[in-house]
Chains A and B, each alone.
Chain A
Amino acid sequence: MGDTPLLEVTDLVRHFPFREVQGLRMVKANVRAVDGVGFTVSQGQTLGLVGESGCGKSTTARLVTRLDTPTSGRIVFEGRDITFLKESRLREIRRDIQMIFQDPYSSLNPRHTIGSILTTPLKVHGLHKGREKQRVKELLELVGLNPEHINRYPSEFSGGQRQRIGIARALAVEPKLIIADEPVSALDVSIQAQVMNLLAKLRDDFGLAFIFVAHDLGVVRHFCDQVAVMYLGKIVEYGDRHGIYERAEHPYTQALLSAAPDINVARGIAPKERIRLVGDVPSPIDPPSGCRFRTRCWKAQEICATQEPPLIASTNDQQSTGGRERGVHLQACHFPEVKTDILAEVETPA
């Protein structure tokens, strides 16, 4: 980990204002998609953003790539404030921050050959002048595609191959940070593993940093060093992989982990006692007062409605688990508690 982090995000807020008619009045309101999010990513590090739909994880990703502009907050990339960088100057950061999208079908222009799809970013940034074609072939090889297919169109490739093209496009400009928004969730199970392996290899070979947005907890656990769990526009728990998956303290993280079905049940391990969350995620237009999770939380007390729990260092996560160095572990609950029964289930070997 370097001295200054590659990316530093503080108090990031994105509200989508809209107007609504209520009776005879026009009411102005905000969808508070991201409501005060902060994290850092160092070179070569991988941060996973997890949470359910509407928690703001994809909006956060779009803000960091500056495909969208925050309402307030600060995004600092390599010591430079890019929060409100003008459209005309965004090109400068586009080279360093690249994005991989969920849908390999709609993110590639069907009328362009993959050769031209991959040459465009090189030309835009004036890279490898005069030997663009050579470079494109190298890129194709790098992501495991046949370099001779340079003149083919996206429709001639399978879903997994198209996602590889998307990855090659992101890599073309030799970025430092890649934002991957659900990069494998549209792919078949057998293909997901291939693409995950490719991403891991590239991360290790080029020292790439990743922000990895996904709803699949297993994939995040496999790929990410750090994990931020989001709920209704806020981070409710943050920590390294072990902290989150083995010693989760926030009830929402615990519920999320316990809800994921477990293949180990087939191997004779008793199914987890599932924390059944009642109801739906409340509207981000008018989130609950105090702790946003309190309406679905079994621990909720009076204080939860009146006082918003800050994201602070966990106090319970102190016992040793065998000499492994502890990273930062933050949580935002008034009544944090490691739930050992989940822990036991996850760590029982097959």
Chain B
Amino acid sequence: MLTYILRRLGLAITVMLATLVSAFLLFFAGPADPAQAMCPEQKCTAARLAQIRESLGLDRPLPVQFAEYFKGLFVGRDIPFGGDTIHCSAPCLGMSFLTNRPVSEEIFSRFPATVLLTAGVVVVMVTVGVTIGVLASTVRGTALDRILIGGSQVFGAIPYYVLALIFALYTTRFYSILPQAGSISDGVIQFLPGLIAPWIILGLVSATGYTRYTRNSMLDSLSMDYVRTARSKGISERKVVGKHALRAALSPIVTILGLDIAALLSGTLVTERIFEIDGIGKLSLDALGRDDLPIILGTVLVTAAIVVTMNLIVDIAYSFVDPRVRLS
């Protein structure tokens, strides 16, 4: 088990390094020019642009820049910035071109909002999705089954941003049924009510996939011989479905859930934009609009780290869910 985890960690580090190199090349060797973006109204002279580039360290050869960046990740580094030198401590992801703050600070200050959003969404999505899926599987082939599954299909087919926008407008703007989002700097307790609306809408929309997935998985496990064995013991039908069948049906869902959590933690662009939640998604969206390369690179790396970690957690969790899985 320990060996397995160490091996997986090694693999994870390799993946991270590969991501780092390719993302770095893609952004810093690419056509985007942050110096242009930093000029007021984009009207700088060539000399002024060169000056900005120099101050950002963009004039140095790419390998040198990369080596600097890499060093910063582990031990921190000093960054020349507009004449000054700012110390950026490890893990240093560089400085934002636009806010002059370390990227790591920018990202980590946004993280709690995204984590809180994700937590609520996961609760709604799993509870609603699995409950409806199990219900549909037990009434398979009936009108109720068709209503539940058809409904979830229709609901899941509407473009999310349309649904989310309408929901946001009606619940938080036109009629103030649900509170609008605040800033997390006001304190977590004050911040939470503003998350209710996105929790509900994103949770419900994400639940549609889980509904269908759970139903199919349950239909599989309900037809298994061991469910027949469970029934032949004389235990109640509720226990047959809720214990024996569901236990087996849930294990494939764990995999999907892990990846979904990773995706949510990486920031939900649309949700955070519509509900004005200052999270990772909004941060990267803003950075994209302004060619703020260090922020973009930073969010990409953090996202990759989250995905890799969640994959590892899923694999380990799986071995607890299914005793047949030996971590080897």
Chain A residues at the B interface, C-beta cutoff of 8 Å: 19-21, 24-26
Contact = CB atoms under 8 A, between A and B. Distances in A.
Nearest to B328: A21
B8 to A, nearest CB: 12
Contacts of A26: 3
Contacts of B2: 24
B320 interface: no
A26 B326 CA distance: 13
A20 B3 contact: no
Nearest to B6: A24
A60 to B, nearest CB: 28
B1 interface: yes
Interface residues of B, number: 7
Q: Which of B1, B2, B326, B328 is the most central at the interface, judged by chain A CB atoms within 10 Å of its CB? A: B328
A21 B1 CA distance: 7
Secondary structure at the B interface, as helix, strand, loop or mixed, is loop
Contacts of A25: 3
Contacts of B326: 21
A19 B328 contact: yes
Contacts of A19: 328
Contacts of B226: none
A26 B1 CA distance: 10
Contacts of B327: 21
Contacts, number: 12
Interface of B: 1-4, 326-328
Contacts of B1: 21
Nearest to B327: A21
Interchain residue pairs A-B with the least CB separation, the first 5: A21-B328, A21-B3, A20-B328, A24-B3, A24-B2
Contacts of A20: 328
Interface centre among A21, A24, A25 (most CB of B within 10 A): A21
12 contacts: A19-B328, A20-B328, A21-B1, A21-B3, A21-B4, A21-B326, A21-B327, A21-B328, A24-B2, A24-B3, A25-B3, A26-B3
A103 B199 CA distance: 51
Nearest to B7: A26
A21 B3 CA distance: 7
Nearest to A19: B328
B10 to A, nearest CB: 13
Nearest to B4: A21
A26 B10 CA distance: 15
A14 B5 CA distance: 31
Given A19-B328, A20-B328, A21-B328, 9 more contacts: A21-B1, A21-B3, A21-B4, A21-B326, A21-B327, A24-B2, A24-B3, A25-B3, A26-B3
A243 B299 CA distance: 76
A20 B3 CA distance: 11
A24 B4 CA distance: 9
A286 B308 CA distance: 37
B323 to A, nearest CB: 16
B324 to A, nearest CB: 15
A122 to B, nearest CB: 40
Nearest to B2: A24
A307 B195 CA distance: 75
Contacts of B328: 19-21
A29 to B, nearest CB: 11
A23 to B, nearest CB: 8
A26 B6 CA distance: 12
Contacts of A24: 2-3
A21 B4 CA distance: 8
A298 to B, nearest CB: 35
Interface hub of B3, B4, B326, B327 (most chain A Cβ within 10 A): B3
B119 to A, nearest CB: 34
A275 B4 CA distance: 45
B3 to A, nearest CB: 5
A339 to B, nearest CB: 39
A26 B328 CA distance: 9
A138 B326 CA distance: 52
A17 B326 CA distance: 17
B316 to A, nearest CB: 14
A25 B7 CA distance: 12
A293 to B, nearest CB: 29
B93 to A, nearest CB: 35
A20 B326 CA distance: 9
A24 B1 CA distance: 8
A121 B324 CA distance: 41
A336 B1 CA distance: 47
A25 B4 CA distance: 10
B5 to A, nearest CB: 11
A224 B307 CA distance: 59
Nearest to A26: B3
